[in-house]
Amino acid sequence: MENDPNPHDPSSAGGGEEAKKGLVVLLVGAPGSGKSTFCNDVMAAARRPWVRVCQDTIANGKQGTKSQCLMSAAAALKDGKSVFIDRCNLEQEQRADFVKLGEAQVAVHAVVLDLPARLCISRSVKRTGHEGKLQGGKAAAVVNRMLQKKELPKLSEGFSRITFCHSENDVKEAVKAYNNLGPSGNLSAGVFGQKNKDDKVQLGIMRFLKKVDKQDQDAGKDITSDQNLTQANVPRQDSIGNTFTAELENKNEDQGSLNDENSSERSFVGRSSCNDVHTLAFPSISTSDFQFDLEKASDIIVDSVSDFLNKFDSVRLVLVDLSDKSKILSLVRKKAAKKNIESNKFFTFVGDITQLYTKGNFRCNVIANATNWRLKPGGGGVNAAIYRAAGDSLEIATKERAETLSPGNSVVVPLPSSSPLHLREGVTHVIHVLGPNMNLQRPNYLKNDYVEGCKILRDAYSSLFENFASIFKCQMRNESKRSSSGISNSQNPLKGTTGTCFSHSDQKIKLEGWYDSERNKKCKGFPFNAAAKEKISTPHGGHGYAHSETHSDVLNWDENSSNLTSSSNPGLEVKEKNCAEVSKRTWNAWAQALHVIALNPEKHKDVVMEMSDDFVVLNDLYPKATKHVLVLSRLHGLDCLVDVHKEHLPLLKRMHSAGLKWAKMFLCEDSSLIFRLGYHSVPSMRQLHLHVISQDFDSAHLKNKKHWNSFNTLFFRDSADAIKEIEKHGVATVIEDESLLKMELRCHRCRSAHPNIPRLKSHIANCKAPLPTHLLHNGLLVSAASKSVG
């Protein structure tokens, strides 16, 4: 842990971050982690004025609300004081409004008290007289439940500095750093003391309820007691001859201490994308859990890479490892240099293989997974990380390709476009590969037979690289077909602006208007009859329109794409996938209604209120508020927000303007209304549509949690925010988390919890609290006073 600030240290105030007058510090930690103690220890010897904002005591010594905390913090900052936010703040949603308090003269820090669960529970159970009355036996269950929802903060949330404390010594160092801050001082920007961000919550804790002893209190002292908090190591890319380091959370080109020699290497990575260089990132196979000899493994890696690169030019191979002290990376670098392998075609990279772009500013369209023979998630290391990052869709897609895998073989799995790994990182394919096992505790143990083991490992890399070649060969053939048919890349609505490379099959999926949503699989299909449209009941985002027209959205797989599961692999048990069966996977019948109206509005003049070449406007048939209209895109193939790219910005802006116009018209009728414009992350109805909805939520059709949470959680994306994100990044953030729709019912104004919809509605009718700060400050609401959206 550094001791900030030092007036002679350029990383102190005015160095790592511009000196700012105000400071907001969010304490992040479970009950019993020591948040209140931290605040008191800093304030007792502080050189600057601090105010502690605690929700347990905000209402005249009693428990209050989040809104009260926000108002108290804002008032303290206005008075020139710095603020500690003493809440658990374990989830990003809980932190978001407080981060918004930051402005030009206010820095926002996070101090993460990530102490062992055992210690937090021990403290919570034993304490008495707690401000929030969380003590005794019930505290253990509460702490356990809260820790399982923990989301570690990131700089991308809006923090300028994040400090992680894993032990009592770390906490003392952090207290000392804030004690030393002068009235206008600041601490260096960045992430400090972070260990493994994917650490699991410690389970099996209920045994502490029976016996809590002093040993529990000291549990944290043995953990990293000799490790001072240092600035988090950033992903490091090591070319064969050179090494450089890039900032972990900040991808700006001017971050880090890069010398001129390495800058060219770095600019190559930042500049290249899968559109011009086909890239495979892969871990070292069998050298971790399977305990294969590192010297022998490094020889095989270098030989296999050399053989492959001699056959192909426009490709790039990247060996990835989490540790910058990895022996396998060091060995491979030395041996590759001796073989004179070009460093722009093969290099090593230190970082998380599932976060190469978001954390390392490095694009990669294919990644390899060191899998198990059952092709199942679980275990540890790379396999667990990739399945976790890709979501359930990877496991489902893998099952469609193969049941098991034998050592020395690999299988390609096209990653569904709805996968978080695809959306966030641009990964289009995962290649599962299985190597030889030298670990007595694992299946297919070779009993240290390295003759057979080396043969299997060579076969594994050969299969991996062959499958990678089949992917980019298929893509090149399809590019050639498109060129010969007169379709240029600039005409392709799915390519170019984001830097993400999509497989041809994925392009056709989107062009044919097919959208594979897990939610659609769960919904019951609507039986067609010859009648015209009729009203039906729909899920969370349903709008009550049905139709009698069948719509054939055929999924045209490229005939060559089925060959991606290597036919040369005799150990691969492949499930046959009938393309005709795949082609039937469409939106459910009831979900096609808006699509039909958008494409043929002239036939639906009874429901259409406004029509243009780009969009139509209609009332939601089952409105969730007093005023609730939909602005539908008329562009075929644009089914939801995930389909939107930079070339669609003019359309989105016109839809936004139309929504504003209707909101203003409604305000002329009732000036007490307030409107919000936005999209569902994953809509239940096909065809991109913008919701224009009043915030009174006074409707008989608002009946359940899904209805409420689809408009009042991160599941709902504000139109103005989506437009800004697309302008900046080429795509909008889409949060496909079903658990958001199952969250407890909370008032969208004061955030108070309610057991059911009737109780919630009764409360809303009388709640006078202001709407969320981030909506107010960012101008995302339309009212008679503003009549505009930011």
Q: What is the pLDDT of residue 117?
A: 84
- Please compute the mean of the pLDDT values over residues 535-549 and round it to a whole number: 49
Residue where a domain stops, chosen among 222, 251, 269? 222
Both 185 and 288 in one domain: the answer is no
**What pLDDT sits at residue 110?**
94
Helical axes 137-147 vs 117-126, angle rounded to 10°: 150
Shared domain for 175 and 306, answered yes or no, is: no
Q: What is the Cα–Cα distance from 371 to 394, expressed in whole angstroms?
A: 13
For residue 632, name the pLDDT band (cuts at 50, 70, 90).
very high
Asked if 601 contacts 525 with a C-beta cutoff of 8 angstroms, the reply is no
Q: Are residues 240 and 180 in the same domain?
A: no
Tell me what pLDDT residue 482 has: 57
- 689 labelled catalytic: yes
Containing domain of residue 650, as a range? 586-783
Picking from 445, 477, 509, the residue at the C-terminal end of a domain is 477
Could you give the number of structural domains in the chain? Answer: 3
- Give the end-to-end CA distance of the chain in Å, rounded to a whole number: 41
- Asked whether residue 319 falls in the same domain as residue 199, the answer is no
Percent of the chain with pLDDT over 90: 37
How far apart CA 86 and CA 224 sit, in angstroms, is 25
Query: If you average pLDDT over every residue of the chain, what do you get?
Result: 75
Supply the pTM of this predicted model.
0.37
CB–CB of 411/394 below 8 Å? no
For 513, counting Cβ atoms within 10 Å of its Cβ (0-12 exposed, 13-18 middle, 19+ buried), the class is buried
- Cα–Cα distance for residue pair 82/79, rounded to 1 Å: 9
Query: What is the pLDDT confidence band of residue 543, given thresholds at 50, 70 and 90?
Result: low
- Indicate if the pLDDT at residue 10 is higher than 60: no
- Cα(102)–Cα(780) distance, integer angstroms: 18
Sign, CA torsion 565/567/568/569: positive
The answer to whether residue 83 sits within a structural domain is yes
- Among 275-289, 330-344, 617-631, 679-693, which stretch is predicted with the lowest mean pLDDT? 275-289
Residue 46 vs residue 664, higher pLDDT: 664
Query: What is the residue-wise DSSP string for 694-738?
Result: ETT---TT--SHHHHHHHHSTTEEEHHHHHHHHHHHSS------G
Lowest mean pLDDT among 178-187, 385-394, 496-505, 549-558: 549-558
pLDDT at 5 over 70: no
SS3 call for 679 = strand
List C-alpha distances in Å: 471 to 346, 410, 412, 692: 18, 13, 9, 43
Which pLDDT score, from 0 to 100, does residue 782 have?
A: 92
**Residue 681: alpha-carbon gap to chain centroid:** 13
Can you give the pLDDT at residue 263? 33
Residue found by looking up tokens 């991308």 in the block: 156
Q: What is the pLDDT of residue 565?
A: 37
If one compares 516 and 115, the residue with the highest pLDDT of the two is 115
Pick 430 or 358 by higher pLDDT.
430
Higher per-residue pLDDT: 738 or 188: 188
Q: Which of the pair, 137 or 294, is modelled with greater confidence?
A: 294
Question: Is 552 within a domain?
Answer: no
- Domain presence at residue 499: no
Residues 705-736: tens digit of each pLDDT: 999 999 999 999 999 999 999 999 899 988 87
Task: Say which CATH number the domain at 605 has.
Answer: 3.30.428.10
Residue 759 lies in a domain: yes
Q: Tokens for 368?
A: 């390899």
Instruction: State the average pLDDT over residues 741-769.
Output: 92
Domain finish residue from 170, 189, 222: 222
DSSP of 452-520:
HHHHHHHHHHHHHHHHHHHHHHHHHHHHHHHHHTT--GGG-TTSSSS-----HHHHHHHHTT----HHH
Which candidate in 429, 543, 689, 748 is catalytic?
689
Contact 627, 634 (CB under 8 A): no
The answer to whether 447 and 295 have CB atoms below 8 angstroms apart is no
Q: Which two tokens stand for residue 674?
A: 């307030």
Regarding whether 136 and 45 lie in a shared domain, the answer is yes
Inside any domain, residue 54: yes
Tell whether 39 is covered by a domain: yes
**At residue 467, does pLDDT exceed 80?**
yes
Confidence of residue 432 (pLDDT cuts 50, 70, 90): very high
Sequence-ordered list of residues with C-beta below 8 angstroms from that of 238, at least 6 positions apart, any chain: 244, 329, 333, 347, 348, 349, 350
3-state secondary structure of 110: strand
- Least confident range from 306-310, 382-386, 507-511: namely 507-511
In the chain, the amino acid numbered 242 is: N
* E strand or H helix at 111: strand 106-113
**Is the same domain home to 639 and 746?**
yes
34 and 128 part of one domain: yes
**Backbone angles phi and psi of 191, in degrees to 5:** -110, 130
Q: Residue 727: exposed, middle, or buried by beta-carbon count in 10 A (0-12, 13-18, 19+)?
A: middle
User: Alpha-carbon distance 22 to 45, whole Å?
Assistant: 18
State whether 386 and 276 are in the same domain: yes
Judgement on whether residues 79 and 218 belong to the same structural domain of the protein: yes
Query: Same domain for 168 and 259?
Result: no
Residue 651 to residue 726: CA distance in whole angstroms: 12
For residues 215 and 301, state if they share a domain: no
Would residue 638 count as lying in a domain?
yes
DSSP 618-658: EE-SS-SSSSEEEEEE--TT--SGGG--GGGHHHHHHHHHH
Residue 486, in any domain of the structure: no
pLDDT in tens, 55-104: 888 888 888 888 899 999 999 998 889 999 998 998 888 899 899 888 76
Q: In the structure, what pLDDT confidence band is assigned to residue 591 with cuts at 50, 70 and 90?
A: confident
Do 391 and 448 fall into the same domain?
Answer: yes
Find the CATH number of the domain harbouring 146.
3.40.50.300
Q: What separation in angstroms does the CA of 43 have from each of 29, 49, 61, 83, 165? A: 19, 8, 19, 10, 18
